[in-house]
Amino acid sequence: MPDPRKDGADFVQGRTGAGRGLTISSMSAQGPGTSILIVDDDPHIREVVRYALGREGYRTLEAGNGAEALAVFERGGVDLIVLDILMPEMDGTEVCRALRARSRVPLIFLTSKDDEVDRIVGLELGGDDYVTKPFSPKELVARVRAVLRRTGAGPGSPTTTGSASTAAAPDGGPPRRLQHGRLEIDLEGCVVHWNGREIPLTATELGLLRTLAARPGRVFSREELMRQAYDGETHVSDRTIDSHVRRLRAKFLEAGGEPVVTVHGIGYKLGDCA
């Protein structure tokens, strides 16, 4: 097993027979104050992830099983979760369901299940991204950074142009709000409303919708959506984008809306939102 503290240890794979974990927290003095909960029954995997994130200044919390993860989350202060799927007792998909019933916290699956169907199921449950074992700690950090950026107007966010109504910041900075028909997106608060009703979205779903709403009428290919909504730092398949769009649509249909239109053979665009 490679030593996670060596720069040459580029890939890490889980092991069997992992023991129970304890909740631990650590923080780099140079950190941005962002707290990430690492959930895996393998203490070595948690160590690798903790070290990789700690080097980038992130504060980390740990849980060795699903029940412990929910308990840690309930204490508050968790900004993103790295969640293993294959855990004894309460697996990652059960944890994801429980979390999505109460929160939109960004979630990245960490799993040894490399089948695309399994990954899509995880995304449709509400996951924002996934990393398969064996994994590169550097790739995981890049995906964490990209998902966190999609929760707000950070670097890599799409430029706000087009015919959508915008509310500019008082200081002349980037717009704080996008409005198109019944659709309203609070870019600062990362909150979306349809006809006055709040629609709970994951960070990735918000990133996709924000990209479309910034250029109403423009058709985005799946490749463009990958590049803009994922900040160009990760590669995902067409089916992954389709899965996120399908879940996004389902949430709006519950509120009587359908803001995303499919342009067959090309991609997606924002609907009229009337």
> What does the pLDDT read at residue 114?
60
Pick from 240, 261, 254: nearest CA to 199: 254
10 HSE (CA, 13 A, CB side): 1
Integer CA distances (angstroms), 7 to 36, 134, 181, 211, in order: 22, 16, 51, 35
Q: If you count them, how many residues does the chain have?
A: 274
Q: Check: CB of residue 213 under 8 Å from CB of residue 273.
A: no
Tell me which residue has tokens 């707290």: 35
- In one-letter notation, the amino acid at residue 34 is T
Q: pLDDT 10s per residue in the chain (274 long)?
A: 445 444 434 555 554 444 444 444 444 333 457 899 999 999 999 999 999 999 999 999 999 999 999 999 999 999 999 999 888 889 898 999 999 888 888 999 987 766 665 667 777 778 888 888 888 999 999 989 888 887 642 223 333 333 445 554 444 455 678 899 999 999 888 899 999 999 998 888 888 898 899 888 899 998 888 777 665 555 566 777 888 899 899 999 999 999 999 999 899 999 989 8
Distance CA 59, CA 180 (A): 37
CB atoms inside a 10 Å sphere around CB 121: 16
DSSP secondary structure code for residue 129 in this structure: E
pTM for the model stands at 0.59
DSSP string, 25-88: EE--TT--S-EEEEE-S-HHHHHHHHHHHHHTT-EEEEESSHHHHHHHHHTS---EEEEES--S
The answer to whether the beta carbons of residues 21 and 43 sit under 8 Å apart is yes
Among the listed residues 129, 145, 132, the one whose alpha carbon sits nearest the alpha carbon of residue 56? 145
pLDDT for 14: 57
Strands 59-63 and 35-39: parallel
How buried is residue 235: exposed, middle or buried, by Cβ count under 10 Å (0-12/13-18/19+)? exposed
* Cβ contact 164:178 at 8 Å: yes
